[in-house]
Amino acid sequence: MTAQRLQVESLKKDRGFSYPIVFERDFAHLSTEINSLKRKGRKICVVTDTHVAPFYLEAVKKALEEAGQTVTSYILPAGEAHKNLEEVQGIYEHLIQEHFDRKDMLAALGGGVVGDMTGFAAATYLRGIDFIQIPTTLLAQVDSSIGGKTGVDFKQYKNMVGAFHQPRLVYMNVAVLKTLPEKEFSCGIGEILKHGYIRDKEYSRWLDEHREDILNRSQDICREMIWRSCMIKKTVVENDPTEQGERAVLNMGHTIGHAVEKLKNFTMLHGECVSVGCAASAYLSMKKGYLTKEEYVHIKDQLRSFRLPVTVKGLQTKEILSATKSDKKMENGKIKFVLMDSFGHAVIDNNISDQELSEAIGTILEEEDT
């Protein structure tokens, strides 16, 4: 049985500030959680998107009103294509019209796109107001709602403009996963399998054991899975809140993954690209002698068994290599590549040659049918 809540310690410069992640099966306890933030009589704006609003906006507004909040809402168009400064301006305008001041709050109700945009609006409106996260995708529950990274895309550059801004509360209602489209669910699984590879071999084994229940979205199993993934993300971000070092291990599968995502014009989901990137990273880890061939094959089989791709069609090694090298996570012109130095333990390697990288990229390319 997993605990009901986790506490995430935040930046030291925030004077020991910490926030809870609570695990629930409905929105019934949201008002109690809000009450404990001691904002009675203040305003709160629920920011959500066009897909999520019809399912959950009313229930969330009701819970917040019960907590004595004056509630407004702002609905963004759904999707990554709208994760930009223009849409954030819409949030600012709403807050100005509704006379939001420094003590009022935002609530992000949605996936990672809504969470990142709402967090960014909160970080910048009046030089920073509080916000809470109510993540509704699996990816947002295990990844984007924790750790305080917020931001938007700028032109073709993903997450290029942003701020670190920690939420005051992460309210995880696992029941919302029942309306999540299948592909979006797999997308979150990509990050979850990655958590096993970077920090916890036993978790990786547990995921295999419970594959059927996970894919059938059994609430109890999903809750335990989300809790375990949150534990891993929490531990990593607490050790390195602003990504000076260790936090970069969370980027396993993302260096090549982002390149693929961009070259495929975002037609593949993020988690799918991360899966392909993890397969490439596992290959390089094997070539370096850190993983056995069996472990490499096992990782690819595991990704596939969770309905994730390990190869892509229609791309060339050269273009992936060059897109990989233009990733913003470079340091002094070197790629910070995340490898496993053993199954379940990731390390950063700054010394991967172009030749090694090209060879790894070769293993994820599918031949086109002629």
Report residue 176: phi and psi, to 5°.
-65, -15
Q: Which residue has the tokens 């990782």?
A: 299
**With binding defined as CB under 6 A, does residue 110 bind ligand NAD?**
yes
**With binding defined as CB under 6 A, does residue 49 bind ligand NAD?**
yes
306 close to 189: Cβ distance less than 8 angstroms: yes
Q: Which residue, 55 or 92, has its beta carbon nearer to ligand NAD?
A: 55
Site for ligand NAD in 65-104 (CB under 6 A): 78-80, 83
Which residue is at the shortest CB distance from ligand NAD?
Answer: 112
Q: Cα separation of 110 and 192, whole Å?
A: 19
**With binding defined as CB under 6 A, does residue 277 bind ligand NAD?**
no
**With binding defined as CB under 6 A, does residue 251 bind ligand NAD?**
no
**With binding defined as CB under 6 A, does residue 356 bind ligand NAD?**
no
**With binding defined as CB under 6 A, does residue 339 bind ligand NAD?**
no
Q: Which residue, 291 or 308, has its beta carbon nearer to ligand NAD?
A: 308
Q: What is the distance in angstroms between the CA of the first residue and the CA of the last residue of the chain?
A: 53
Contact residue for ligand NAD among 35, 84, 159, 311 (CB under 6 A): 159
Q: Cα separation of 254 and 330, whole Å?
A: 12
Q: Which residue has the tokens 């096993």?
A: 196
**With binding defined as CB under 6 A, does residue 261 bind ligand NAD?**
no
Contact residue for ligand NAD among 34, 47, 52, 221 (CB under 6 A): 52
Q: For ligand NAD, how many residues bind (rule: CB under 6 A)?
A: 29
Minimum CB separation of residue 189 from ligand NAD in Å reads 11
Q: Cα separation of 285 and 296, whole Å?
A: 8
Q: Which residue, 144 or 204, has its beta carbon nearer to ligand NAD?
A: 144
**With binding defined as CB under 6 A, does residue 112 bind ligand NAD?**
yes
Q: Is residue 74 helix, strand or coil?
A: strand
Strands (E) across the chain are located at 5-9, 18-24, 43-49, 70-76, 105-110, 130-135, 149-154, 157-164, 170-173, 312-313, 337-342, 345-349, 365-366
Q: Which residue has the tokens 């992000």?
A: 108
**With binding defined as CB under 6 A, does residue 144 bind ligand NAD?**
yes
Nearest to 125 by CA among 153, 93, 78: 93
Q: Cα separation of 201 and 120, whole Å?
A: 34
**With binding defined as CB under 6 A, does residue 236 bind ligand NAD?**
no
**Count of C-beta atoms within a 10 Å radius of residue 133:** 29
**With binding defined as CB under 6 A, does residue 113 bind ligand NAD?**
yes
Site for ligand NAD in 114-133 (CB under 6 A): 114, 116
**With binding defined as CB under 6 A, does residue 111 bind ligand NAD?**
yes
Burial of 326 (0-12, 13-18, 19+ CB in 10 A): exposed
Minimum CB separation of residue 222 from ligand NAD in Å reads 12
Per-residue interface string for the shown chain with ligand NAD, residues 183-222, x marking contact by CB under 6 A: -x--x-----------------------------------
Binding residues for ligand NAD, per CB under 6 A? 49, 51-52, 55, 78-80, 83, 110-114, 116, 136-137, 139-140, 143-144, 147, 149, 159, 176, 179-180, 184, 187, 270
